[in-house]
Structure 1
Amino acid sequence: MTGRVPESGDNERIIILVTGANRYFCLLFNLPQATLSTPKPTPRFTTNLPPAHGSGLGFSICCRLADDFLRSNPASRTLTVIFTTRSSKKGSDTLRRLQEYLENSPVAKNGGESSKERVEFVPENVDLANLLSVRALSRRVNSSFPKLDSIILNAGLGGWTGINWPLAIWSVLTDLVHAVSWPSFKIANAGVVTDPQTNLGSEEEPRLGAVFCANVFGHYMLAHNVVPLLRKSRDPNGPGRIIWVSSLEATVKMFDVDDIQGLKTVAPYESSKALTDVLTITSELPSSAPWVRSFYSVDDNRTLGSESTSKPVADTDISAENKPSMYLSHPGICGSGILPLTLPFFYLMLSAFWLARMLGSPWHTVSTYLGACAPVWLALSSQSTLDDAEAPYLENGGGRVKWGSSCSRSGCEKP
């Protein structure tokens, strides 16, 4: 449960990297496990959310990985969850909360004291809007771990600055389910960029969209850099998996191919998630094959901190046995706290989500623990289970699947 590397065979050790576990929110219900104690200057991204508000999805993914692993794996296997936060302080706090969760989890208690020793949480720091930070994390992970079985690309930036309250109230009163599934009342600025990535200065450096970088490009770069570890994954759940966490709000109308970074739109979050869908769903198409091969063809030594003298991995070296798989998921609609709301309005939002579920919506998971169902299922299931689940779509001429967390009115979940 600490940063110590467990001494077990690589095939009996599952290692998963989860981004965006730095924020924590305590939901008071529906958590089936232990309760969690231009002329103008270009705008740049800053964040100033209250401490109690945050993206609890990444934290819940870590909790659920531990629970579902202990439920479904033999005692000989161990789990290492590498989770990222934006600072060492947040990492330490998240580690403490995860250890408290594991200590009180009914699943771990039912398995005895030895069950808790089979799960290890390892904190790492990264700012996905800072490419040097992403590169540094890549080097640390490549040099510290023998493999990666899955990487769950969850961290996200909403970029919203407020709510159009008259429109929000009208939408909820007249079309509740649609309003809280595909809301049109969130306010965001267009053209928000990251801080300079180089020493060239903001005048010479190409603009890099803040939301685009945090949600897509930073993850893309990180996943590319850890491909050498993903290629080393074998049974029980190999080959390695790249699991993107998208959104139910990602629709085609939100994405403009001429504005790939979403700098011109006032819906940069939705644009970035639509781009995530496009990248993942088209990854198996013949037309995208050259770029996908390039993404997977990375020198095993390139991210270790020194210039490599070896050649990049040839396409012929990437076989079906070691080629990572790419999957797409979304958490449904849950109270992650990514939207900046004061506490009373946050609970009103959760109430609206719950009412939408009572009206028949399968996507309003409300709880981030339920929202973690799909990405965790994709990370821990055997390859044969995932292949069998996707087979009906492929047999009927369909393409890749976007797996979403859903639940019944009573909160019974399924991916």
Structure 2
Amino acid sequence: MSLGTILWTEEDPGRVIWTGSLTAEKASFRIDDWQGLEAVQPYESSKWVTDLLAIRLNEEWASCSDSDMGSVHSAGASVSGESSSAASSGSETNGASTPTRRVTRSASKTALAATTPTTKKHIISLSTQPGVVASGIGGLAAWIVLLRVALHYVVRVFGERNQTISGHHGAHSNVYVALKQPITKLDYRNKYGSCVRNFGQEFLKVEKVVEYERGQAEFVVGKLETLRKEVLAKK
């Protein structure tokens, strides 16, 4: 039995969570180089791809019935990833919404249509981002890591709330969408981001992915499904 089938048949609709990044950039993505092999900013491009996947898979799953689920869930079960919104409008919340603010990295050409999220029972695909975490993943010298962490705290003091710094704080958005909210209160068109105030108080920043293009998303999902089938055929 596949993971998709298990998630589909659970009483509580399954949740596929894509952990992304603040740096996703639509302008870095080219459909003729969807893997970012020749991209000037491959990381930013890959994060945009994950945003596309998070939204598109949700659309596909929402349109499925139990009988045809098998033809769709496999694409989601075979893909894992991360992402973050390149151009978005969002709000900050500790459980209650605050006024919306605009965050723009590049001019939006195509805004996501204002459709009401479906309440139909299905697997939901959600995008999150952990803020800026000082993970030490770069394998730098210890003194450089310590200096970097200190600089992160300085930036946080000056008002940059994305400086989550620790993995614990960075995981806040994932925990929120996985455990703290029912499906009916989550919108797959949003990105849920971890933020921290000066003294470590966690809160959530919700941003709408307004540059989403369905054509791009369908192309990427189709490519990944083709790749999945090719890999399975070799087994």
| Both structures adopt the same fold (TM-score exceeding 0.5) | yes
Task: Please point out which of 1, 15, 35 is paired with 1:261.
Answer: 35
1:364 CA drift (Å): 0.6
Please report the RMSD computed on the Cα atoms of aligned residues, expressed in angstroms.
2.8
1:251–1:274 CA contact under 8 A, matched in 2: yes
Q: Is the 8 A contact 1:333 1:364 kept in 2?
A: yes
- TM-score with structure 1 length normalisation? 0.34
Instruction: Give 1:244's match in structure 2, choosing from 7, 18, 26.
Output: 18
Alignment partners' CA distance in 1, 2:72 and 2:172 = 28
Q: Distance in 2 between matches of 1:412 and 1:261?
A: 37
8 Å CA contact 1:282, 1:400 repeated in 2: no
Gaps of 5+ in 2: 76-118, 205-235
Given that 1:243 and 1:328 are in contact with CA atoms closer than 8 Å, whether structure 2 keeps it comes out as yes
Distance 1:297 1:245, change over 3 A: closer
1:282 is displaced (CA, Å) by 3.9
Q: What CA deviation, in whole Å up to 9, does each residue of 1:222-248 have, x standing for no partner?
A: xxx4101111322xxx20110000111
Higher relative contact order (CA 8 A, sep 6+): 2
Task: Summarize deviations over 1:389-408 as a string: whole Å, max 9, x none.
Answer: 54xxxxxxxx7100000111
User: 169, 173, 180: which one pairs with 1:374?
Assistant: 173
Q: Which of residues 45, 57, 65 in structure 2 aligns to 1:271?
A: 45
- 1:363 corresponds in structure 2 to 162
For residue 140 of structure 2, what is the aligned residue in structure 1? 341
Once the two structures are TM-superposed, the CA of residue 285 in structure 1 deviates from its matched residue by 5.2
After superposition, what is the alpha-carbon deviation per residue over 1:258-284, rounded to whole angstroms, capped at 9, x for unaligned? 111111124322221110011113445
The residue that corresponds to 1:402 in the other structure is: 191
- Aligned pairs, number: 156
Identity %: 32
**Which among 228, 232, 248 is matched to residue 9 of structure 2?**
232
Q: 1:263 to 1:389 in 2, by over 3 A?
A: closer
Unmatched runs of 5 consecutive residues or more in structure 1:
1-141, 143-224, 299-318, 391-398
Conservation of the 8 A alpha-carbon contact between 2:132 and 2:164: yes
Aligned counterpart in structure 1 of residue 72 of structure 2, from 295, 298, 310: 295
Task: State the one-letter code of the partner of 2:193.
Answer: G
The separation in 2 between residues aligned to 1:349 and 1:328, in whole angstroms, is 27
**1:250–1:340: structure 2 CA closer, same or farther, 3 Å change rule?**
farther
- Cα distance change of structure 1 residues 353 and 343 upon mapping to structure 2, 3 Å threshold: same
Q: Distance in 1 between matches of 2:31 and 2:124?
A: 25
Query: Partner letter of residue 400 of structure 1?
Result: R
Deviation at 1:358, TM superposition (A): 0.8
Moved beyond 6 Å, runs of 4+: none
Equivalences for residues 132-171 of structure 1 within 5 A: 142=1
Distance in 2 (alpha carbons) for counterparts of 1:338 and 1:254: 23
Partner SS, residue 163 of structure 2: coil
The letter of the residue matching 2:120 is A
1:340/1:295 Cα in 2 relative to 1: closer, same or farther (>3 Å)? farther
The answer to whether the 8 Å contact 1:281/1:400 transfers is: yes
Q: Report the alpha carbon displacement of residue 336 of structure 1 after superposing the two structures with TM.
A: 1.8
Of structures 1 and 2, the larger Rg is shown by 1
Kept in 2, the 8 Å contact 1:261–1:272? The answer is: yes
Q: 1:341 to 1:266 in 2, by over 3 A?
A: farther
TM-score by length of structure 2 reads: 0.59
The answer to whether the Cα contact below 8 Å between 2:164 and 2:170 also exists between their aligned partners in 1 is yes
- Cα shift at 1:297: 6.3
